[in-house]
Structure 1
Amino acid sequence: MKNRAYALINILGLAIGMAACLMILLFVRYELSFDRWLPNSENIYQLQTWYHDHQTGEDQNLQMAAYAAGSALKKDYPQVERMVYVSAGGFTVIRNGEAIAVDNGSLVSGPFFDIFQFPLVKGDPRTALKDVGSVALSESQAQKLFGSEDPIGKTLTVMLRGKPVDHRVTAVFKDLPKNSHMKFNMVARYDPVTYWAEQTEFLTQWGWQSGWWYAALKPGSDPKVIAADEKAWEKRNIPDETFGDRKYNQGDDSDYHLVNVRDVHLGKAQNGASTPGNDRRTILTFGVIALLILGMACVNFTNLSTARASQRAREVALRKVLGAARPQLIVQFVGESIIVATIAMMVALALVELLAPGFSRFLDADLDLHYFGRDGILLPVFALVLLVGLLGGLYPAFFLSRFQPSAVLKANRSAAETPGSGRLRNILVVGQFAVSIGLIICTAIVYTQTVYARTTDPGYQREGLLQLTGAARRQIVPLSDTLVAEISRVNGVKSVGRSSIGIATTNSSNTGISVPGKAEAVTLGTYSVDTKFFDTMGIKLIAGRSFDTARPMDDATLPFPEDKAAEQAFVARGANVVINELGAKRLGFRNPADAVGKQFKGGGFGTPDELGLVPINIIGVVQDSRFRSIREPLEPIMFRYAKNNLDAILVRYSSANPDKVRSDVEQVWKRIVSDAPFDAKFSEDIIEKLYKAEDARAKTFAGFAVLAVIVGCLGLFGLATFTAERRTKEIGIRKVMGARSRDIVRLLVWQFTRPVIIANLIAWPIAWYVMRDWLNTFDDRIALGPTPFLAAGLLALLIAIGTIAVHAIRVASANPIRALRYE
């Protein structure tokens, strides 16, 4: 109560540091808890496929694996007790005549609940998915489809490959928690052999990934034994294939890894994930930031304690004269420190209670705050109080107990300053502001890169674009011509295009192109488009021409189901294609125009390998377009004109009322494709969702940077206050000797801004190194120029000056008589 300002600065600074530390503790614990709630999780593994393109050096690590890979694994290793294949995609359900989209729905090849022991609300896990045609629903999905009715035994019509198939509901499981890499609302048992009867190559091709394999190993089995045999296993099982006159093997560029389900969320493989994961470096970064802020708060405590120590010199001296030993004084001062830390922790817990729900919603996570139990934070709270109390109070305790009574009490001295303590405080202030400046720099760069990712030219016109997607491609394809024609008539619609690649779609397809003079085939992405796609997307033609419906060679549509005669005729005549600029470069052309008219041979048209490669004629080159995240490498693409391999319908509109256009398009959709749910998103919304994680990271960095600056300013303000008080007589003498108020202000300001300038020299190289490493995770990124570094340094300097200037002006303006009077 006697030193309110000192107590307030210490308690508030420590409370902010502790609250930040606890919030990050909750976040880190949540990220590390993924799938640990799952029974037998220590024995459940996901089979992943990690690709390395030795032509470009790029890595693409998939959580998916080919159907053939899982079958071979189960066959070769007795350690594998059970395996199940989980298909990617969603479902369309017909309920009371209405088409309903079911997100996160999957087909499974076996008794799913034998591996994933989800808590069931209704049904028997031993028989729930025993038979083909049985289906299990999550609680929320069951409520959505059946309301208050008991769904067990009810029939549910599911659209599979364009045909309605009845399924019997056999189980309802609890909604999965957010801390799971799996998001299932509906799981249906199917027979892969029957399902893929029209495309049997799915069951045998090692390059076709369309789902996830999960294996339950026998208790006590070591997955490292399987990993050690991986190369030999690949050689035994992956057959050589023929590409023209060359032989290749799918295993040459791929490795297969069994990854425990608890490690999938933060694992190396994040492509082909059912839900977005995270990386350990991000978790570590936030943990380090929290510790730095807590450290800054402890530094404040140490600095203010040593600065205030001079005022407690007589107290220490008198205690020693009256018989107090140094260990007793150390215990007293450490005890004071722990008491202050305890009070600060009470304030911190109040802050966490208030902020945790909002922080949880912001991160879309379940950050539950419990004090007791296995997930309770009571033990970390006690540990943090003890740690902070010792870190903040140990040095001041040794420092204060060092005073000699004779030196302090002679000549009635009430103050003392140990040599070197001022230098220590300056070093600590430098460290504090180095952290603050570093965080400001990182925040500026992360935010700028995030804005750049959302706004940089993707190679197509983002504004005024509506994308229609869905899992009901089989229903749409026969009616797509009619659908496109009707949508084109909607008021405000300028053009409509179709494609198997759209904005941030998850599908990926590539093929090899045989280039004369090159020993290996050149890999290009291969996607179907119609003749309106490039105009609708706003993709510019660089050279040559686009597809034309009047030219039969442009049409690469093949009948489905397969027609051998049509396929043979197609391979004999060949096809015209359009490539992008990067594709032309990969094929060996410096100038895109040089690629026009050139002929190659390649695959990717859906024809059987035994028919040989398809002659390809390049008719045009379009500009590069980035359809996926800016983190992923730009894809070299070969476009082909086909009408029956489409995943997205793109609608270009010019209306000032986009919602009206969407509503009108929806009416057309429901009238023509009544058995397929309508799913349309504006391109701006798709991009916002694509970079949602980056945006959250930028805002979180900004929040912690602000906290760091606040803690640093609190300490600086406290130091300035005590320094000014200690130098009161010095300032009075300077004024009597003729110093002006502005000279005094400049003297005090310079004393505290000099450490900030030094802090810049420390923070800049560290922040540059860290941010360079982070920016390298993006395929396209901003230049790491001097602007954020200079701006952060200037901002920190202005904040420091603003923190102490008002106090310095007040002290400098005081009457020197009050400062110089004695007793």
Structure 2
Amino acid sequence: MWRNYLTVGLRALAKNKVYAFINIFGLAIGLAACLLILLYVRYERSYDDWLPANDRVFQFQSYYKSKFSADRFDNQGVPYATKAAILKHFPQIESATYFGGGTSITVIKDGRAVSPDDARLVDSPFFDTVPLPMARGNHQALVRPGSAVLSESEAVRLFGTTDIVGKPLTIETMGVKADYRITGIFKDIPKNSHMAFNLLLRADFPSLYEQGGNPRFLTEWGWTGGWVYVKLRPGVDVADLNRQMLAWEKANIPYEVDNGRRSNIGDDRDYALVNVRDVHLGHAQGSAMTAGNEASSITTFAVIAVLILVMACMNFTNLATARASQRAREVALRKVLGATRGQLIGQFLAESILLAALSMVVALAVAELVLPWFATFLDADLRIRYFGADGVLLPVILLVALVGAAGGAYPAFYLSRFQPSQVLKANKSASEAEGSGRLRSGLVVVQFAVSIGLMACTAVVFAQSMYARSLDPGYNREGLIQLYGVGSKPLRGREDALIREVQALPGVQSVGRTGIGVNTGNTSNTTVIVPGHEEPISIGIYGIDAGYFPTMGIRTVAGRVYDRNRPADDMTTPVPEDPAAERALAVRGGNVVINEAGVKRLGFASPQEAIGKTFQFGIKDEYGGAMTLTIIGVVADSRFRTVRTPIEPIMFLHDTNSVFWMEVRYKGNPATTMTALEGVWRKFGSELPFDAEEADAIMARTYKRIDARAQIFGVFALLAVVIGCLGLFGLAAFTAERRTREIGIRKVLGARTWDIVRLLVWQFTRPVVIANLIAWPVAWWAMRDWLNQYDARIALGPTPFLLAGGLALVIAIATISAHAFRVARTNPVHALRYE
């Protein structure tokens, strides 16, 4: 019996080659797209699943919310002081480690400074808390200070081999040079991890930061420069610990005097333990080691995968119901010969599952071919494994059964209910299935509603992406090189000489130093007291020098910017701190430049009104407790980060102790300028790596992942349209064939070719018009919420929706017009010769 069913099913496919191709190819595209998307979704949700004991390893995060404004910053990093406090307060913690250090690390190899790839300082046996798989050595590798471990790839990059355990490694950080001993090699961290480091150094933190002239880093609760990870004891409920965080803050975070007011530093911060598997898709992405993602974006991709698969199943159902009437006589004859309804249902479901299996084979081949490009494009380590815990073989089998059953259920149950007497008596071999026309129209409406909605969303995403790229950032990125490390200790006292030599290079037009560079990710804020305002006001604070604004090309809106010839502009004091100089500066006061957002934040009506106004800036009590700052200039707002991040209200201080980046404006060949710049840098900073990049390249790299996701979204939206059109193509072919006799009669009665084409085209475009009415409001609602995550965004007008609807209509008309025209031109004699 099953052999007969298989033979009949294959012959039915062979007899209707167009039907077989459309169904197999359309379903294969849907299955392949679904597989690829779900592989990506599973990959994004698999972050840090590979880490041993991951259910007990947590990252300690801090969430800043200003008491005086809407500013907020959800941070994966925390101050160094939090580690000891959390260990003391929670005995449920088995171990904890701090790593990061808030400083750059340089490897001195063969007398030359080499910049390691993601190097971090650790203050304790790191592997007790985060048990990374080891390639050489064991988890005791970082027990003693002075130990170093490298990843396999970093060992090969620096030494050409991983057989380096026991070798010395010379490190320079904060101007302190020290020898470490390599005690282990850990396996490369997979891409699906929120952690990123290739070199870990077990340092003596108190001694190192004392020598580096920065002991405050270890005690300041407002200074974030690294990450704290904890490992909980077995059976501990992390939710219970997080409920105790408010009490922990009050018991451990000290009070300070801020602008003459006693306040707790923790009043504007919340803390929580977050499992390592939830960090990548979590809401805290500040100070992230790797670029995170949004859970909502991953959910969107999963929804698209399901929609594409549903559309492919709808195609199958549509075409199967269209062919149902052609198999009515076969069903009737089988029933006459004794076949039961259950056998007929089994036959048609088996045929459906066979078709789904053939489609899955094609889909897997397509997925295998496309996967390398797909993975590279998304910068993800995507692979198809058929066996094992993450194998796709069982899901594929289940998907074939599900798709086959879902796609063939209606045709199977409908065909099996035909009454032999009615079919054979009325010769209904080519009749319309009762109610199936309405079903097919409904399915076409749903398919095109999905397609139109996805096209409209794609148009909005593309427009927003182009807008983000073309938006004026408030400074000139073209011809700008950003160099890191200018504030390092080895350069201290020689910065002016370095700048003079850089300015003397051919093609260099100007040079400036800054504490806020192009998408550097660092944030710094403080509170000030403005006369007439009872509460302190939060505002960003960054150091620059007099060359910064001219070099960046930032426009002056009112007043003036800093001038090297005006000593009163300079607020730089000696390093290390000189109490006498600090007190003298506090008495003298200082001049500041603010941006336009700062004008609004400080409560001034216009930039011109702000010029000459003063406010109080809190400093240490021993230096006077407050300093008067005078606004001398207002500059245009600049967007140093992506369009997702709101423009920060900023006051710029002329303070070269708080600069980390050098900005170099040049004209000419970028490669030549970069080479010359490196030569000067090596001359002054032989113990510092040359870390420079063009500003345009920095932002291009920043937007790369965002653009990639948007483009992938567009590709899958296009696939949804293709699937919908394939189904429409098949329906048009079968409808035209079924209505051949009707068309012949119409032509005999005087209908013109154009009349018949218009009749058939309207029959299939009417559902597309209805689909627009469904798709537009849904797509508008989804895109409104999506655009709200951007600080600068396009206006959500009707254009994307009208374009999507119009394009869908054109595609539908083009798809069915060829069939309609061919049938309309057929000689009616061929259709009516048997009448």
1:630-673, Cα deviation, whole Å (9 max, x unpaired): 11111000001122322111111122x22222222222222222
Distance 2:317 2:780 in 1: 29
1:470-519, Cα deviation, whole Å (9 max, x unpaired): 49722334332122111112221111111011100121111111122323
Are 1:7 and 2:14 matched, yes or no?
Answer: no
Do the aligned partners of residues 801 and 568 (structure 1) sit closer, same or farther apart at CA in structure 2, a change above 3 Å counting?
same
The one-letter code of the counterpart of 2:775 is: A
Are 1:80 and 2:93 matched, yes or no?
Answer: yes
1:272 aligned residue: 287
Residue 295 of structure 1: CA displacement? 0.4
Are 1:662 and 2:674 matched, yes or no?
Answer: yes
Structure 2 matches for 1:412-811, cutoff 5 A?
A: 412-470=427-485, 473-603=488-618, 611-655=624-668, 657-811=669-823
1:188 aligned residue: 201
Residue 273 of structure 1: CA displacement? 0.6
The one-letter code of the counterpart of 1:708 is: A
Task: Let me know the Cα RMSD of the aligned residues.
Answer: 1.5
1:310 aligned residue: 325
1:52–1:58 Cα contact (<8 Å) kept: yes
Are 1:179 and 2:192 matched, yes or no?
Answer: yes
1:168 aligned residue: 181
1:179-198, Cα deviation, whole Å (9 max, x unpaired): 11111110001122223323
1:226 aligned residue: 241
Distance 1:741 1:325 in 2: 46
Gaps of 5+ in 2: 1-13
Residue 376 of structure 1: CA displacement? 0.5
Are 1:200 and 2:233 matched, yes or no?
Answer: no
1:597-640, Cα deviation, whole Å (9 max, x unpaired): 11111147xx5676412211111010111111111111000001
1:90–1:104 Cα contact (<8 Å) kept: no
Distance 1:327 1:195 in 2: 80
Do the aligned partners of residues 727 and 715 (structure 1) sit closer, same or farther apart at CA in structure 2, a change above 3 Å counting?
same
Distance 1:477 1:703 in 2: 52
2:481–2:695 Cα contact (<8 Å) kept: yes
2:127 is paired with a residue of what secondary structure?
A: helix
1:513–1:603 Cα contact (<8 Å) kept: yes
Residue 415 of structure 1: CA displacement? 2.2
1:16–1:348 Cα contact (<8 Å) kept: yes
Distance 1:530 1:547 in 2: 8
Structure 2 matches for 1:243-258, cutoff 5 A?
A: 243-258=258-273
Residue 726 of structure 1: CA displacement? 0.7
Residue 417 of structure 1: CA displacement? 2.2
1:117 is paired with a residue of what secondary structure?
A: coil
Distance 1:411 1:515 in 2: 92
1:68-99, Cα deviation, whole Å (9 max, x unpaired): 22221100110011111011554211100111
Number of aligned residues: 819
2:325–2:428 Cα contact (<8 Å) kept: no
The one-letter code of the counterpart of 1:701 is: F
The one-letter code of the counterpart of 1:574 is: G
The one-letter code of the counterpart of 1:688 is: A
Distance 1:684 1:374 in 2: 43
2:482–2:694 Cα contact (<8 Å) kept: yes
1:89–1:105 Cα contact (<8 Å) kept: no
The one-letter code of the counterpart of 2:373 is: G
1:90–1:103 Cα contact (<8 Å) kept: no
1:36 aligned residue: 49
The one-letter code of the counterpart of 2:117 is: D
Residue 759 of structure 1: CA displacement? 0.7
Distance 1:90 1:285 in 2: 38
Are 1:108 and 2:122 matched, yes or no?
Answer: yes
Distance 2:622 2:789 in 1: 37
1:674-724, Cα deviation, whole Å (9 max, x unpaired): 221112211111111111121011110111011101100100000000000
Instruction: Report the more deviating stretch, 510-519 or 575-584.
Output: 510-519
Do the aligned partners of residues 133 and 55 (structure 1) sit closer, same or farther apart at CA in structure 2, a change above 3 Å counting?
same
2:443 is paired with a residue of what secondary structure?
A: helix
- Normalising by structure 1, report the TM-score: 0.97
Give the percent of matched residue pairs that are identical in Structure 1 and Structure 2.
57
Distance 2:68 2:143 in 1: 45
2:152 aligned residue: 139
Do the aligned partners of residues 443 and 391 (structure 1) sit closer, same or farther apart at CA in structure 2, a change above 3 Å counting?
same
The one-letter code of the counterpart of 2:236 is: S
The one-letter code of the counterpart of 1:221 is: V
1:731-777, Cα deviation, whole Å (9 max, x unpaired): 11111111111111111111111111111111111011111111111
2:338 is paired with a residue of what secondary structure?
A: coil
Distance 1:224 1:808 in 2: 65
Residue 201 of structure 1: CA displacement? 2.8
The one-letter code of the counterpart of 2:81 is: A
2:398 aligned residue: 383
2:8 aligned residue: none
The one-letter code of the counterpart of 2:363 is: A
The one-letter code of the counterpart of 1:171 is: G
The one-letter code of the counterpart of 1:335 is: A
Do the aligned partners of residues 344 and 472 (structure 1) sit closer, same or farther apart at CA in structure 2, a change above 3 Å counting?
farther
- Normalising by structure 2, report the TM-score: 0.96
Distance 2:694 2:618 in 1: 33
1:478 is paired with a residue of what secondary structure?
A: coil
2:150–2:199 Cα contact (<8 Å) kept: yes
Distance 1:505 1:816 in 2: 74
